[in-house]
Amino acid sequence: MSAEGKVVCVTGASGYIASWLVKLLLDRGYTVHATVRSLDDPKETQHLLALDGAKERLSLFEANLTTEGSFDSAVSGCICVFHTASPVTFASVDDPQMELLDPAVKGTLNVLKSAAKVQSLKRVVLTSSLAAVLFCDKLRCGVVDETWFSDPAICEQRKLWYQLSKTLAEKAAVNFSKDNDLDLVVINPAYVIGPLLQPTLNFTSEAFMRFIETGKEVFADGIYMLVDVRDAATAHILAFEKAEANGRYCIVGDVVRSSEIKMILDKLYPDLGYCPGYKDKCVETKLYCVSKAKAKSLGVEFTPLEVSLKDTVESLKEKKFMNL
């Protein structure tokens, strides 16, 4: 479809996926309404305002996830809302309800309530996560696909608060959309790697950087379901542009063991100095199999893992987060 004159909204626009989403939308010719937490914070705004096309077709709006009506101005006149804003952390939190659950669930509903008021709106694309897919009693049985849903009881029992927040937010979005005649498409990306546009180090990139630098596993079982940030952002756009898109989409480029990642990085960056015996220390945990059928039907073409890993490291070096 021609994007000229078409206005879309991206919430949480200073984030990792969202910054790329704004860039790719501008590159396609869309006019973008982008929300940030503070218009006075250059770390949230400067990299967006510096994008090609931003001067002509990007407007920034201040919005708060937990304030109802906060997104009304940003979504006004839009044909699509890309809701990416949500807190991300796998670390322990003092108050899961306040720090993760409320911003994710109430924030999603606040954005959808604003969207439901817009007559021009064609579709809402929600950024969920594979975290809302994997944590159920079917894990390690069969092929993971879009029919899998994380079990809130399992997440709560295991104190997986981020996973619980994404699961509850997605369920709330689906129910609200059904009740209010909103066309909702959900994107469930795997663990996101790739180059950063924003000047700050987001939680997942920081954790992956520590893994690269020290070998400390992000995931205890040493299995990584990965997707390039550019592919995740593109999937969002395709989910809007393709009229036949529906339901949810698992966006997973690769499922690999940490030893495989280290072998690639060892080839690209021998100075990392990985212990020569790391290949023999791999725990032979059964790898998950994730269906790519629905993602491919959307038109997503996945970046090769070696390219994503190299671009991740080069971006971290360029922004002086990593010395190598």
CA dihedral 278→254→160→229, nearest 10 degrees, is 110
Measured CA to CA, the distance from residue 320 to residue 311 in angstroms comes to 14
Q: Which two tokens stand for residue 299?
A: 């038109």
Choice among 166, 296, 310, 319 that is catalytic:
166
166 catalytic? Reply is yes
60-64 — which CB contacts under 8 Å span 24+ positions? 60/13, 60/34, 60/35, 60/36, 61/33, 61/34, 61/35, 61/36, 62/35, 62/36, 62/37, 62/38, 63/11, 63/35, 63/36, 63/37, 64/37
Q: Point out the residues that are catalytic.
A: 166
